Amino acid sequence: MHGRPYLVGVAGGSGSGKTTLVRALRDGLPPGTACIVSQDDYYLPLDRQRTDPNGRINWDLPTALDLDLLADDLRSLARGEAVYRQEYTYEQPGMAGKWMEIRPARVVLVEGLFLLQHPGLRELFDLKVYMEASEEVQLERRIQRDRRERGYDRQHVLYQWEHHVMPAYREHLLPYRHLCDLQIVNETQYQRGLAVLRDHLLRHAGIRSLVEETA
């Protein structure tokens, strides 16, 4: 790899489409030129999580994650060093997250809720992206995702949404939205925003020149 990686932070509310965007972006760039880092893989152990007044764990707080470690790992990737993380499994019984080696690439795509809120993370990004969607759309996506991927029933999701997700969204995401460089609205589709972002990376992350060298 030639030169420092280009770091892209993708923030936005739960269900806004962050994960979908970074995967589509990685797959739309030349093979091997982009890697993905997920904030979710930096959750602290269960015994270090905070509970709400009803005794239920609130995963939707910046303090639920080791964001300083995430910043350290991004600095390592920026230096061209690989990092190793255990995949987070959302506390699913009997599931142990696999260990992953994340190798530095020309573009490092980072997605998570609190990338703009944390100053040590925010200053690392060459480009900051915010995913937008209405609260109604985000909630419906979360209900479908949590039922399909995590086995949560509707009542469980609605409780988290009202007591954890939306308070965190309003306190820890919206106040920092103005710090992003690009907003992508993902109400029904995000393809135009994806195309703009892909073109930006081809021009500014040194990918186009690498492709031309090997052509």
Judge whether 210 lies within some domain: yes
Kindly state the average pLDDT of the residues 50-76: 96
Looking at residue 43, what DSSP letter applies?
Answer: B
Confirm whether 62 is domain-assigned: yes
Q: What are phi and psi of 97, to 5 degrees?
A: -65, 140
Query: For residue 64, what are the contacts with CB-CB under 8 A and spacing of at least 6?
Result: 43, 44, 49, 50, 58
The tokens for 150 are 């995590």
For residue 13, the enclosing domain spans 6-214
Q: Does position 140 have pLDDT exceeding 50, yes or no?
A: yes
Mean pLDDT of the chain: 90
Which pLDDT does position 98 carry in this prediction? 85
The answer as to whether 1 is a domain residue is no
The residue with tokens 């609260």 is 135
Least confident of 107-121, 136-150, 155-169: 136-150
Which of 205, 84, 181 lies closest to 129, judged by CA?
181
Could you list the beta-strand ranges (E) of the chain. Answer: 6-12, 34-38, 83-86, 99-102, 107-111, 127-132, 182-185
Q: What pLDDT, on a 0 to 100 scale, did the predictor assign at position 91?
A: 59
Residue 102 in any domain: the answer is yes
Q: What percent of the chain has pLDDT over 90?
A: 78
Three-state SS at 128: strand
**Digit-coded pLDDT (tens) for 28-61:** 999 999 999 999 999 998 899 999 999 999 999 9
d(C-alpha 124, C-alpha 109), whole Å: 12
Q: Work out how many domains the chain is built from and give that number.
A: 1
Q: Is residue 178 a part of any domain in this protein?
A: yes
Pairing of strands 99-102, 83-86: antiparallel
The CATH number of residue 186's host domain is: 3.40.50.300
Q: What is the mean pLDDT of residues 160-164?
A: 96
Fill in the DSSP letter of residue 101: E
Q: Flag whether pLDDT at 209 surpasses 80.
A: no
| 43 contact partners, CB below 8 Å, separation of at least 6 | 59, 64, 65, 66, 88
pLDDT tops 60 at residue 162: yes
Which of 66, 53, 62 has its CA nearest to residue 162?
A: 53
pLDDT in tens, 83-130: 999 888 765 555 667 899 999 999 999 999 999 999 999 999 999 999
Q: Is residue 192 part of a domain?
A: yes
